[in-house]
C-alpha cells in the first residue's frame, strides 16, 4: 500500500509545510498510521509526498519507500481519507484496475500495472481504469481534523486499545470513573488527587506518561508517551496530546502533534498545535465568537479566509512557534511556522511564516537565528536539528513574505 498526499496538501498548512498530511495526528494515531493499521497488506511503509520533503523522510526513515514507483497490484490510498467501517470495507474490496473517486479527487485505486506517480482522473480513463464514484468522506482542512478528533479517540480505543494489555493500576488518592474505559500503558505515573473521568469517553495514558497531583482528565482523551500533565491541569474531552509534551492549565478539544509545551495556566480550545511549540504562561485563546457565528480562518490553499462551518475553532499553530507570556490569540487565528511572537497585542487573523515581534509590528525572523534556536530546543531532548531540516526550513523561509 502507498499512502499519498494529493494536490490539496496546502489546505493543511502550516502544519503540513514540513510533514506529510498523513503524519498529522488525529485521535490516538496519525492519519497514516490508522490507514496502515486497517488497510495494510505488507510490512513496509510506502508514501508519495511533496518532493521537498523527500530528503527529510529518507533521513529519518531510511527503511521507508519514499516517492518510489508503485508496483503492479499496489493499493494507493489518499492520506486524507476519513477512516470508518464503510471506508475500510470499500477500499479493502477494491479490485485491480478500479478507482474510487469524488469528482476529480482520487480516494483510492488498485493499479494492475506499475505506476511511476499518481495519474489524474483523465489519465486513469486513458489507462483503462474503471472509475467508481464514491461519497466517502475526506478531511478538507485542519478544522475538519480537529472536529473529528473526538470520534477517532473513541474509534481507536475500541478497535486498538480496549483488548490490549492494560497496566491499569492506580495509587491511593487517584479517582478513576468508569475504569473499563481507561487504558494505562507501562510505567505511567499518577500522583495523588488525580481524577480520570471516563464517564463520557475513553482515556488512554500511553507508556511513560506522568500525571501530577490534582490534575483532571475527562474522556475521550489521549496523553502520549512520556508526556507530562502538570499539577492541577484540566484536560477536557476531545483532546489528543502527542509524545513528549508538557501540558498545564485548561485544554479542550485540541491536538498537540508532539514535543510541545503549554505548561502554565491559561486556556487553549479547539486548536491544533504543531511540534516544538512553546506557549508562554497565562496565555489564552478564543475558540468561540461573541456573535456565536461560524469561525473563518486563513487558508494557504486559497490564499484567503474561508468559513470553517463550525462555531468552535481556536488556533492553528505551526511547528517551532514561540509565544510569549500573557499572549492572547483570537478565534480562528493561523500562526505560521517558525514564528516568535510576544507583547500585549491581540494575535489575530493570519500570522505569516517566520514572523517576529508583537502582532502590530511584525518583522521577519532571521533564518540563522531561527535555526540556532531550533537546534538548541531539540538538543534539550537529545535530538539533532538535521541538515535536511535546515534545508527545508531554508526553502520555506525563502518563500515566506516579509
Final residue before a domain boundary, out of 139, 154, 187: 139
Q: What one-character-per-residue DSSP string does 98-146 give?
A: EEEEETTEEEEEE-SS-BSSPPPHHHHHHTTPEEEE----B--SHHHHH
Decide: residue 218, CB within 10 A, 0-12 exposed, 13-18 middle, 19+ buried.
Answer: buried
* 336-352 residue pLDDT tens: 999 999 999 999 999 99
* 281-310 residue pLDDT tens: 999 999 999 999 999 999 999 999 999 999
Q: Does residue 41 have a pLDDT over 70?
A: no
Claim to verify: residue 80 and residue 184 sit in the same structural domain: no
Let me know if residue 278 belongs to a domain: no
Query: Which candidate, 272, 259, 226, places its Cα nearest to that of 385?
Result: 259
Claim to verify: residue 87 and residue 200 sit in the same structural domain: no
What percent of the chain stands above pLDDT 90? 91
Final residue before a domain boundary, out of 115, 139, 163: 139
Let me know if residue 219 belongs to a domain: yes
| Cα maximum dimension of the chain | 67
How is residue 49 written as a grid cell? Answer: 509526498
Record the pTM: 0.96
* 83-114 residue pLDDT tens: 999 999 999 999 999 999 999 999 999 999 89
Claim to verify: residue 34 and residue 118 sit in the same structural domain: yes
Domain that holds residue 334: 287-402
Amino acid at each position: 500500500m502507498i499512502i499519498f498526499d494529493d494536490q490539496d496538501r496546502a489546505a493543511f498548512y502550516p502544519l503540513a509545510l514540513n510533514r506529510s498530511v498523513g503524519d498529522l495526528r488525529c485521535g490516538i494515531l496519525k492519519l497514516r498510521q490508522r490507514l496502515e493499521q486497517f488497510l495494510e497488506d505488507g510490512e513496509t511503509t510506502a508514501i508519495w509526498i511533496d518532493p521537498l520533503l523527500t530528503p527529510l523522510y529518507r533521513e529519518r526513515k531510511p527503511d521507508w519507500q519514499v516517492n518510489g514507483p508503485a508496483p503492479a497490484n499496489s493499493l494507493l490510498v489518499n492520506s486524507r481519507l476519513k477512516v470508518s467501517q464503510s471506508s475500510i470495507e470499500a477500499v479493502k474490496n477494491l479490485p485491480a484496475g478500479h478507482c474510487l473517486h469524488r469528482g476529480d479527487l482520487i480516494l483510492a485505486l488498485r493499479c494492475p500495472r506499475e505506476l511511476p506517480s499518481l495519474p489524474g482522473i483523465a489519465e486513469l480513463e486513458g489507462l483503462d481504469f474503471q472509475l467508481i464514484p464514491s461519497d466517502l468522506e475526506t478531511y478538507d482542512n485542519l478544522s475538519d481534523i480537529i472536529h473529528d478528533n473526538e470520534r477517532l479517540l473513541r474509534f481507536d480505543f475500541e478497535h486498538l486499545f480496549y483488548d490490549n494489555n492494560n497496566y491499569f493500576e492506580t495509587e491511593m488518592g487517584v479517582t478513576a470513573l468508569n475504569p473499563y474505559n481507561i487504558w494505562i500503558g507501562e510505567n505511567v505515573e499518577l500522583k495523588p488527587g488525580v481524577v480520570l473521568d471516563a464517564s463520557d469517553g475513553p482515556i488512554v495514558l500511553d507508556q511513560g506518561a506522568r500525571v501530577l497531583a490534582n490534575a483532571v482528565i475527562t474522556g475521550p482523551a489521549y496523553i502520549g508517551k512520556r508526556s507530562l500533565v502538570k499539577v492541577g491541569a484540566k484536560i477536557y474531552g476531545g483532546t489528543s496530546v502527542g509524545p513528549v509534551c508538557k501540558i498545564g492549565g485548561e485544554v479542550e478539544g485540541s491536538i498537540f502533534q508532539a514535543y510541545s509545551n503549554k505548561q502554565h495556566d491559561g486556556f487553549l480550545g479547539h486548536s491544533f498545535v504543531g511540534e516544538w511549540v512553546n506557549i508562554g504562561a497565562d496565555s489564552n485563546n478564543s475558540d468561540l465568537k461573541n456573535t456565536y457565528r461560524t469561525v473563518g480562518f486563513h487558508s494557504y490553499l486559497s490564499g484567503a479566509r474561508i468559513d470553517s462551518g463550525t462555531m468552535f475553532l481556536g488556533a492553528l499553530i505551526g511547528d517551532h512557534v514561540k509565544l510569549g507570556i500573557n499572549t492572547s490569540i483570537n478565534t480562528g487565528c493561523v500562526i505560521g511556522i517558525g514564528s516568535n511572537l510576544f507583547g500585549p497585542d491581540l494575535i489575530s487573523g493570519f500570522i505569516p511564516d517566520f514572523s517576529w515581534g508583537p502582532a502590530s509590528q511584525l518583522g521577519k525572523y532571521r533564518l540563522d537565528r531561527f535555526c540556532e534556536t531550533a537546534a538548541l530546543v531539540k538538543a534539550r531532548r537529545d535530538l539533532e536539528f538535521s541538515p535536511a531540516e535546515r534545508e527545508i526550513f531554508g526553502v520555506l523561509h525563502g518563500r515566506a513574505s516579509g
